[in-house]
Structure 1
Amino acid sequence: MSGNCARVPRFPARTFEEAVQCLCFCFMFLPDSIGRPDQYLYPLYRKDLSSGVLTRQCAKERLQELFIIVNGFTKFNHRWADRGGESHFVVGGYTKAHEDGFNELSELIIESMMELNLCRPQVSLRWTEKTPRKVFRFMMDCERRDRRRRIAFVNDEPRLKTLMEIAGLDFETASDYIMVGCNEPAFQGSISLGGNTVNILRSLLNALDSNRVLYCGTFDEFYDVYEKELFRDLEKILDDTNHFNLRRAADINILSSLFLDGCIESARSATRGGVKTPSTCADLMGFVNVIDSLSVIQQFVFEERQVSMSGLIDALKNNWKGAETLHAKIVRSGRFFGNADELSDSMARRFTNSLYKFAYGKKDLFGTPLRYGNLTGYITHYANYGKLTGASPDGRYAGEPLKFGSGQSNGYDRNGSTALLSSAAGMDPSGIMGGNTVMNLMVDASVTSSEEGFGKLVTLVETFFKMGGLHIQLSHVSPEEMIAARKSPEEYQSLRVRVSGFSATFVKLDNTIQTELIHRTGHSEV
């Protein structure tokens, strides 16, 4: 070790062990994603194996030492100590030569991580159209066996489309993207600028509060009113974000700027837009609530005429009190997202096209094109915003959490997992939601306990990606098990669940989040 430390990071690594030691130092200096270790470590790994100076077992031990350092950076008594999410990295994905990058080192990295009972780091497999079935099955098998719920899956095809067509990057640059934090796309040697989380359901409720909607004779007229309200809010958020970044620019952050590409060349710190390939994204809370609410308005107000616009507005103002019959009809027969229903699926496409219409040609303070997502991260904005948001047309009561990510809850996805994933895969033809987008799928443990069920699940997720789905992460905990854990927490101290972009110990989550997780629809068949 002393020889390694004398060499790196002052000089370039010559061996695999020196490279891992350098990576440890760099992580200590700038503790975040370790990027694509299966790509940048692979040449030295192959060279040292071939020359006989390294064995597979020795490489595994060095990788495990790295993971222990990564996990230990978050202090054991920190309030987020048991949550996996930060220190995210990726394996697989396209290489610059347009080939699938999953290699023997990728497999060793996953094997090394699986042998450690640690919360972090979290890893995502970057799936490509060239990913071998056996590789995908291997990663899915690791995911089902992982007690710490550290593995997620992202699809290179729609992500690269977004990065090239919307962000304007070439394939060589775009193909080197990574995942950071809970589930944010970024680039090695660069920076991800967040901080702009938007409650887009509020925009819809504000539109309903205006007298203009009472004079809308068609749904298209109503949608135009809402779109204008949405665009005003998105413009304000962009302006607020730019002001926030101006304030942040007061911090030069010298150390991070030394490690990030472009800062020295541009003579600007990372906080002042000096990095070569920055990434930015606005996270839209209430994404599915908006789609469902718009679908309900079209169905019940303009098509079936079961309620007038003023009648619906009154029901919302009274939190559905006195309108219980209408509420029951909406919950029972509403055409909600996640059911492969043409009304709600077309509404999702219309909404994401509106986002594209707003964002096209717009850039943030540092010249980065806008992208959107629906991730909440460690700060559970969907619950916090829900507490401050009134009742909505989709049947949600005032104060209830907003729906999370691209999925459904409360049993609204009635047609099974295939329909849910079909809706999610086709919701964004423009690619504008190619930012921090998350799809949670609750799968009953009985599905993965049998080889037949597991094989069907592998096919389901693979098909989801072939249809254009961007991201998926799985939970294998039933509502009954979570209810039992709530009643007897001392007996379920090791029960791990997927929350948003991270996993956590169920009994350590607050009551609101526990309730929301219990209400997510579980699928016993795939």
Structure 2
Amino acid sequence: MMRENIKKLYANMRKKTSVSMETYRIIQETYREMTGQPMIKCRTQAFYNIMARIPVFIEKGDILAGNGAACPGGLEIDYANGIWNRYEIDELKKDGYGFYGDEEELFKLNESVPPYGLNDGIAEVLSEDSFLMPFLRSGMALVKWEGLEHGRQTLQCGAQGGLNLTPAQALVCLDYESALKTGLEEMMNQCDREMEKLSFETTEEYDRYIYIKCMKKSLEGICLYAERMADLAGKMAKTETDEGWKAQLLQMEEICRRVPRYPARTFREAVQMYWFIFLTVACPNVALGMGRLDQIFYPYYKKDIEAGRITDEDVLELFELLRIKDYHLGTIQSKDNRDQTNGEAKWHNIVIGGVKPDGSDAANPLSYLILKALRECPGAHPTVTLRVAESTPEDLLEMGLECVRMGLSMPAFVGDKSYIKYLTINGVDIKDARDYVLTGCIDVNLPGKSRTMTACMFVTPMCLDVFLNHGIKDGMVLGHDAGDLDQWTDYEEFEAAFKDEFKYFIYLMSQYCNLMITSMQRNFPEPVKTAFMYRGIEDGIDYQIKQMPFENAGVICPVGLVNLGNALYAVKKLVYEERKVTLSQLKAAMDANWKGYEDLQKMCLEAEKYGNDIDGVDKMVGDMYACFDEYCHEMKCVTGTIYRSSAVSIFGHAPGGAMTGATPDGRFCGETLADAGASPMRGQDVNGPLAVIRSAIKIPQDSYQAVLFNMKFQPAAVRDDRDLSKLAAMIRTYFSYGGKHIQFNIVDEKELLDARVHPENHEDLMVRVAGYSAYYVQLTQRLQDEILARTQNEAVR
């Protein structure tokens, strides 16, 4: 049962926040003072100054020290995402947000040093007549460039809860476990030892010395922040009359004097140290792995339980606080983006279950307590993902499904078999592979030993759209003119011509991603994050630059591959096998958006569709997945390796579809594409959930870093425990055949419809969008429509 202090903090969790400019002011002042200094030194000093100067506070009942902003529940303005002007601040106030501090000071700061965003490094090597500009303007990379002046950032401004200054959003999980065992004092001593080894005989040694020195300075900043929290707790305790709260403050002071400087000894010290590292290093990155918390904390839990120092209720309180405090690490964007927001998406992913590095089952009491914290303290963030192995206890799997049945839209479920195989076939040692975590949506990484620097959305049906339009999109020459559309005598000739162009567009995508990675490497060094990565201090090289034990810096995510497979199957069947229409006639119908060609559209819609366990079309979809993966592997990444594939669309299927013309599967121009990776086009799976499962396992998933799969059930379909057992069996079957991921929305369509009309009555209604959860009423109408239209299964059979 939720403790009283948690109840009060949870009640305030979703109240409108105040926007603070404290980190923005500190960074601006630092950059102004350090004009002309190398970026590595500017960013390091700015981070240290934030740790030293940002106002600190402790809310009554909050026994976990450290907050992501200068005021309770606040958000800090993100330095890297543009300028907050008077219009934006006025609109923010109209929307009910407060402002912490004097906004007039913000305008003065904007005039002194302009913000430095990710575009700066990319636009420097582009011109308006660059071969990449038509591609960037087309929207095939999902974000549509308006030109060099605005680049890829459509935001005018952004605010994020967090203390760091990290514009680049790499998918990464720090090695929290080693840090908890080592302590930051020893890490700083290690920095000293490494610097003493250097002799300055090469420029590389000079660079390493500067970098390691910056890592030490950053670690000192984190320790200073913890000491400031200790000072505040001690000061508050001196005047506190509530003896219970006074005792908590004194304990907090004692803990913050020790961690993160020294290794954690107890469960509470471990959670506090973890939170200091996650808060200060990770944020405002909205896509950072929280790691395998049931594994990281279990040794401390076991020791304290055996010594009688802690109870499960104490542990639950700390896990619930983690949920509440992470929820506040949110974002606010510009007015236009708030109007188009897709649920304040964030990917702080807690992973539980699975197997240990030695292959034994990893479930322990903390696995269950993390789910219990989710159940008692629900919220859209952070997400929870349950790794499912053959050995996973049935009651843990069903407890996860019970959370979903309650309408919490999580945990998500991933299959150990396929994830571990993916890593081992790419050269990862089996012990490391078994210790994988999920970052971003469900993207696999190794704690401290890998990172994904680009996971960019690539709108695959647009490739066919452009190909059929002779390489032209919106009047721009984007690809090559394939000539007369009726020149190919059979489907194989047509497919070969299309695949050549498909590969070319993937090449353009890889070039764009290479620019982004290079900009991140050169303009946004991250010594503080590097310190918590594999051999970070020993090597003295930014984790974004050096090759990692598992190298997956460059990842491309296909959006709408199911639509593309369905479309190519319709072309094969109607044009080349049944000869009911020519390709040029089909294109004319699509150009008219099917107006006047309704009979032809009906034929296209009636062609077999993926998701019904029909081999012909399922094979086509599977072949396109294999083709995309093969072409990605042929593209060179600037880190010296290859590009990898990850089938997650996030919410890209909505804007991706909006920018794509009509397609041969009968889809209208602008219509939202199929969601996720293995999900059918909504409404086109008509043979039940098991048929969908059988279609999904025909996709070659082992070679993909992730393959996201959504399913939707009526609440009546999981009414009792027998239904949950059936659903659990279905999950295990899917994973046994190589499925990577599955997640569920269990919600009544009537409630979704009523939430559209009366959003004030459904503010707590959560849905699973992609690899994240969101409050339904915060989604765009387009995305609400898409979720509503997903096939709703009435039974698990």
TM class, shorter-length:
over 0.9
Whole-angstrom distance in 2 between the partners of 1:77 and 1:21: 30
2:638 counterpart of 1:349: no
Higher mean displacement: 237-246 or 475-484: 475-484
Q: How much does 1:475 deviate?
A: 0.5
2:700 counterpart of 1:444: no
Which residue number corresponds to residue 388 of structure 2? 127
Whole-angstrom distance in 2 between the partners of 1:295 and 1:492: 41
Name the amino acid aligned to 1:336.
K
Say whether the 8 Å CA contact 1:348–1:428 is kept in structure 2: no
Say whether the 8 Å CA contact 1:269–1:275 is kept in structure 2: no
Whole-angstrom distance in 2 between the partners of 1:185 and 1:425: 19
Higher mean displacement: 78-87 or 302-311: 78-87
Which residue number corresponds to residue 101 of structure 1? 362
Whole-angstrom distance in 1 between the partners of 2:308 and 2:366: 16
Q: How much does 1:363 deviate?
A: 4.8
Whole-angstrom distance in 1 between the partners of 2:552 and 2:424: 13
Whole-angstrom distance in 1 between the partners of 2:528 and 2:403: 36
Say whether the 8 Å CA contact 1:383–1:513 is kept in structure 2: yes
Alignment CA distance shift 1:254-1:434 (3 Å): closer
TM-score, normalised via structure 2 length: 0.62
Say whether the 8 Å CA contact 1:337–1:345 is kept in structure 2: yes
2:754 counterpart of 1:495: no
Which residue number corresponds to residue 60 of structure 1? 316
Q: Decide which of 643, 653, 664 is 1:393's aligned counterpart.
A: 664
2:531 counterpart of 1:258: yes
Q: Decide which of 126, 132, 148 is 2:408's aligned counterpart.
A: 148
Alignment CA distance shift 1:327-1:472 (3 Å): same
Which residue number corresponds to residue 181 of structure 1? 440
Which residue number corresponds to residue 755 of structure 2? 485
Whole-angstrom distance in 2 between the partners of 1:472 and 1:170: 26
Whole-angstrom distance in 1 between the partners of 2:639 and 2:752: 45
Helix, strand or coil for the counterpart of 2:427?
Answer: coil
Higher mean displacement: 489-498 or 222-231: 489-498
Whole-angstrom distance in 2 between the partners of 1:110 and 1:290: 38
Higher mean displacement: 402-411 or 123-132: 402-411
Whole-angstrom distance in 2 between the partners of 1:290 and 1:394: 8
Say whether the 8 Å CA contact 2:662–2:668 is kept in structure 1: yes
Whole-angstrom distance in 2 between the partners of 1:137 and 1:498: 18
Which residue number corresponds to residue 292 of structure 1? 566
Whole-angstrom distance in 2 between the partners of 1:128 and 1:309: 47
Which residue number corresponds to residue 304 of structure 1? 578
Which residue number corresponds to residue 39 of structure 1? 295
Q: How much does 1:195 deviate?
A: 4.3
Which residue number corresponds to residue 245 of structure 2? none
Whole-angstrom distance in 1 between the partners of 2:526 and 2:268: 29
Q: Decide which of 107, 114, 126 is 2:375's aligned counterpart.
A: 114
Q: How much does 1:4 deviate?
A: 1.9
Q: Decide which of 461, 466, 473 is 1:201's aligned counterpart.
A: 461
Higher mean displacement: 100-109 or 180-189: 180-189
Helix, strand or coil for the counterpart of 1:141?
Answer: helix
TM-score, normalised via structure 1 length: 0.93
Q: How much does 1:317 deviate?
A: 1.4
Whole-angstrom distance in 2 between the partners of 1:76 and 1:4: 33
Say whether the 8 Å CA contact 2:380–2:775 is kept in structure 1: no
Output the aligned Cα RMSD: 2.2
Q: Decide which of 640, 659, 673 is 1:402's aligned counterpart.
A: 673
Say whether the 8 Å CA contact 1:207–1:225 is kept in structure 2: no
Whole-angstrom distance in 1 between the partners of 2:342 and 2:670: 28
Say whether the 8 Å CA contact 2:611–2:679 is kept in structure 1: yes
> Once the two structures are aligned, what percentage of the paired residues are identical?
29
Which residue number corresponds to residue 384 of structure 1? 655
Q: How much does 1:329 deviate?
A: 2.1
Whole-angstrom distance in 2 between the partners of 1:15 and 1:68: 22
Alignment CA distance shift 1:75-1:298 (3 Å): closer
Alignment CA distance shift 1:360-1:194 (3 Å): closer
Whole-angstrom distance in 1 between the partners of 2:682 and 2:325: 40
Write out per-residue CA displacement over residues 359-401 of structure 1, whole angstroms, 9 at most, x where no aligned residue. Answer: 3465522245432123233xx3221122211100011111111
Whole-angstrom distance in 2 between the partners of 1:137 and 1:117: 18
Say whether the 8 Å CA contact 1:443–1:475 is kept in structure 2: yes
Aligned length: 519
Which residue number corresponds to residue 337 of structure 1? 610
Which residue number corresponds to residue 12 of structure 1? 263
Q: How much does 1:242 deviate?
A: 1.0
Alignment CA distance shift 1:269-1:213 (3 Å): same
Higher mean displacement: 87-96 or 205-214: 205-214
Whole-angstrom distance in 1 between the partners of 2:429 and 2:324: 36
Whole-angstrom distance in 2 between the partners of 1:49 and 1:279: 39
Alignment CA distance shift 1:412-1:169 (3 Å): same
Q: How much does 1:324 deviate?
A: 0.4
Whole-angstrom distance in 2 between the partners of 1:142 and 1:446: 15
**Match runs of 1:205-244 below 5 Å:** 205-209=465-469, 210-211=482-483, 213-244=485-516
Whole-angstrom distance in 2 between the partners of 1:330 and 1:361: 33
Say whether the 8 Å CA contact 1:425–1:470 is kept in structure 2: no
Which residue number corresponds to residue 545 of structure 2? 272
Helix, strand or coil for the counterpart of 1:279?
Answer: coil
Higher mean displacement: 368-377 or 167-176: 368-377
Q: How much does 1:507 deviate?
A: 2.0
Q: How much does 1:274 deviate?
A: 5.9
Q: Decide which of 160, 170, 190 is 2:420's aligned counterpart.
A: 160
Q: How much does 1:296 deviate?
A: 0.8
Whole-angstrom distance in 1 between the partners of 2:331 and 2:344: 12
Helix, strand or coil for the counterpart of 1:472?
Answer: strand
Q: How much does 1:264 deviate?
A: 2.3
Name the amino acid aligned to 1:515.
D
Whole-angstrom distance in 1 between the partners of 2:342 and 2:788: 23
Alignment CA distance shift 1:369-1:38 (3 Å): farther
Whole-angstrom distance in 2 between the partners of 1:130 and 1:454: 18
Q: How much does 1:91 deviate?
A: 0.2
Whole-angstrom distance in 1 between the partners of 2:354 and 2:525: 33
**Match runs of 1:83-98 below 5 Å:** 83=344, 85-98=346-359
Whole-angstrom distance in 2 between the partners of 1:301 and 1:253: 54
Q: Decide which of 698, 702, 707 is 1:426's aligned counterpart.
A: 698
Q: How much does 1:481 deviate?
A: 3.0
Say whether the 8 Å CA contact 1:196–1:241 is kept in structure 2: yes
Alignment CA distance shift 1:517-1:66 (3 Å): closer
Helix, strand or coil for the counterpart of 1:196?
Answer: strand
**Match runs of 1:463-478 below 5 Å:** 463-478=733-748
Name the amino acid aligned to 1:202.
M
Alignment CA distance shift 1:110-1:468 (3 Å): same
Say whether the 8 Å CA contact 1:207–1:213 is kept in structure 2: no
Higher mean displacement: 478-487 or 234-243: 478-487
Structure 2 unaligned residues grouped into runs of 5+: 1-251, 470-481
Return the index of the structure with the highest Cα Rg: 2
Alignment CA distance shift 1:449-1:179 (3 Å): same
Q: How much does 1:508 deviate?
A: 1.9
Whole-angstrom distance in 1 between the partners of 2:643 and 2:361: 28
Say whether the 8 Å CA contact 1:199–1:285 is kept in structure 2: yes
Helix, strand or coil for the counterpart of 2:347?
Answer: coil
Higher mean displacement: 180-189 or 36-45: 180-189
Q: How much does 1:69 deviate?
A: 2.0
Helix, strand or coil for the counterpart of 1:87?
Answer: strand
Write out per-residue CA displacement over residues 192-241 of structure 1, whole angstroms, 9 at most, x where no aligned residue. Answer: 32242111111122222332542212211111111111111111111211
Name the amino acid aligned to 1:439.
F
Name the amino acid aligned to 1:300.
L
Whole-angstrom distance in 2 between the partners of 1:161 and 1:195: 21
Whole-angstrom distance in 2 between the partners of 1:422 and 1:285: 21
Helix, strand or coil for the counterpart of 2:558?
Answer: strand
